[in-house]
Amino acid sequence: MKRRQLLLAGAGLLSGCDKVVQDPQVRTTLAHTEDITRTVQRLVTGPASLAPEYPAADISPAFKGNGTVDPDDDDYQDLASNHFKDWRLDIGGLVEHPAKLSLDDLRAMPSRTQITRHDCVEGWSCIGKWKGVPLGTLLQQAVLRQGATYIVFHCADRLDESLSSEKYYESIGLEDAFHPQTILAYDMNDQPLSVRHGAPLRLRVERQLGYKMAKYIMRIEAVSSFRHIGGGKGGYWEDLGYAWYAGI
Amino acid sequence: MSMVQPSAADTAAETRVTTYRHGVVVRITHWVSVICMTMLLMSGLMIFNAHPALYWGNISDFDHPAFSIGTVRAPDGHFQGQMLLFGHRINTTGVLGLTKAADGQPLDRAFPPWMTIPRYYSLADGRHWHFFFAWLFVLNGLFYLVYSLLSRHVWRDLVPSRGDLRHLPASVVEHARLRFPRGEAARRYNVLQRLSYLVVIFVLIPTIVLAGFAMSPRLDAGFPWLLTLFGGRQSARTVHFIVAWLLVAFALVHVAMVILSGPWNNLRSMITGRYVIKTNGERE
């Protein structure tokens, strides 16, 4: 197997390699690297390790809005025009107590505020201040049923019709879901979250890259597997070839 | 009728001695490193293309990168490739920032397709390849390191002796004049080889690996000192990029030296281990 990989790699170097890159078996082999990276990174850093938090002076003067910055969706625009008073966060799937929560409901719950660094898969970083409800608190209230393994976030936006017609979605495992810094943020830099940055609610998963941190969240679903959702890879960008584990 | 007969002394001067230069572990790990570093460089340039700008500190000051490659519109309306380095603008049309695609169409890409894996734009594929070869490179490097320390390869072949260091200025002059050690002196690495290999193995490669780690948000959570070490995540990204090119520079000089000091002999020694030296027959 090693030898085959090396030969393929060598062939790639000589022939311009695009065919090798797109070979299904090569893709499968490379996908195993992600499993090794995830396993080892979790092992050496531990489940409770906290992402660095920064002083207020380090907050980026201009936090880049990436991906969708204004969802082209009539239902969403209606909600936005009324300051999300009619928006409800739908919590369902493998939970004992499904719920629909308003923004006021979420603001009335215990919150966490953190100044953290946002690392985009493209390579840039910004620092912002986030306030929101720990996802773990919501999941404890909803009570996960037996078999719940992933938390899926369904969003209001379609990112790029030319790439994919599905709406944005993301998923994380339970270790990240119950991590203290994993929050559903409704405030950014002491202001209500702007449409540009995912109003009314966006996910913060501070030990992973930006594409995991879904914006415009409409529905949260606890599932045993994400194979049946979207393209089956656990997220919008994952369906387009990106790694599900975005810890690096 | 005076044909010069080769004297006994001349024959002795031409004695070819085959020595065993590189052990099997060194040879294997060397070539695995060559493959890995090539793949890492090319997939790394693809990743860089996703955001072709570098910054210092923890965050990106998008309007003031320390370095960037991009496409800009010139005053005459034409697009051109441009490299920005500490505020200096350099026109790089045709090389960086703006090149031609296979069909002849202008292509807005920091590093051109022939330098990247894959050739088409794909950050996702570039990352998969980068991390695969990063694992292979690190495991291969650790294997080499353990072997080199246990077998004393490091002290025997790489760490220069006092005599080597005294010879340093003379060795610099010899290399500049492209005169390389011959005979008995060619049995061992010369002082410049020793120092450059030590810098690559114990400074450049550890630095680029740690800078790679410092870009991982999960590893930053477990090991915040990584950020302290480099002065922030964006600094680490910049260091990672600079060291990559220092390694390219090393590789270019290394290959040039291989060619200038006897390409076949050198190449064979790194494949079979055997290296031929010419001695004066003065071996014991």
* ipTM (interface pTM): 0.92
Of the candidates A99, A109, A84, the residue with the CA atom closest to the CA atom of residue A184: A109
- Supply B41's token pair: 């460089």
- Per-position pLDDT tens, chain A of length 248: 455 565 555 555 545 578 888 888 888 888 899 999 999 999 999 999 999 999 999 999 999 999 999 999 999 999 999 999 999 999 999 999 999 999 999 999 999 999 999 999 999 999 999 999 999 999 999 999 999 999 999 999 998 777 777 899 999 999 999 999 999 999 999 999 999 999 999 999 999 999 999 999 999 999 999 999 999 999 999 999 999 999 99
Q: What is the CATH code for A48-239?
A: 3.90.420.10
Model pLDDT for residues B270-282, shown as the tens digit of each residue: 999 999 998 875 4
CB distance A119–B217 less than 8 Å?
A: yes
* B43 backbone φψ class: left, alpha, beta (φ>0; ψ -120 to 50): alpha
Q: Residue B223: its chain A contacts at CB < 8 A?
A: 45
Structure token digits, residue B81: 């490739």
Mean residue pLDDT of chain B comes to: 91
Q: In the structure, what pLDDT confidence band is assigned to residue B7 with cuts at 50, 70 and 90?
A: very low
Closest Cα of chain A to B209: distance in Å?
A: 13
Q: Which helix (H) or strand (E) holds A39?
A: helix A24-45
| Interface probe, candidates B37, B51, B59, B125, chain A, greatest A C-beta count within 10 A | B59
Q: Which residues of A touch B237 (CB under 8 A)?
A: 123
Task: Pick A45's closest partner by Cβ from B51, B133, B219.
Answer: B219
Structure token digits, residue A149: 């393994």
Taking 80 as the threshold, does the pLDDT of residue B3 lie above it?
no
pLDDT of B284:
38
| Max CA separation in chain B (angstroms) | 86
Q: Do the Cβ atoms of B59 and A27 come within 8 Å? A: no
Band the pLDDT of B149: cuts 50, 70, 90: very high
Domain ranges of chain A: 1-46, 48-239
Confidence (pLDDT) at B77: 84
Query: Could you tell me which of A211, A201, A202, A204 has the C-alpha nearest to residue A244?
Result: A211
Distance from CA of A151 to the nearest CA of B (A): 19
Residue B9: is its pLDDT beyond 50? no
Phi, psi (degrees; rounded to nearest 5) at A112: -130, 140
pLDDT score of B146: 97
**Closest residue in B to A239 (Cα–Cα):** B124
pLDDT digits (tens, 9 = 90+) for B96-128: 999 888 788 889 999 999 999 999 999 999 999
**First vs last C-alpha separation in chain B:** 38
Q: What does residue B175 show for φ and ψ, rounded to 5 degrees?
A: -65, -40
Question: What CA–CA distance (Å, rounded) separates A184 from B38?
Answer: 42
Domains of chain B with CATH codes: 13-52+115-279 (1.20.950.20), 62-110 (no CATH)
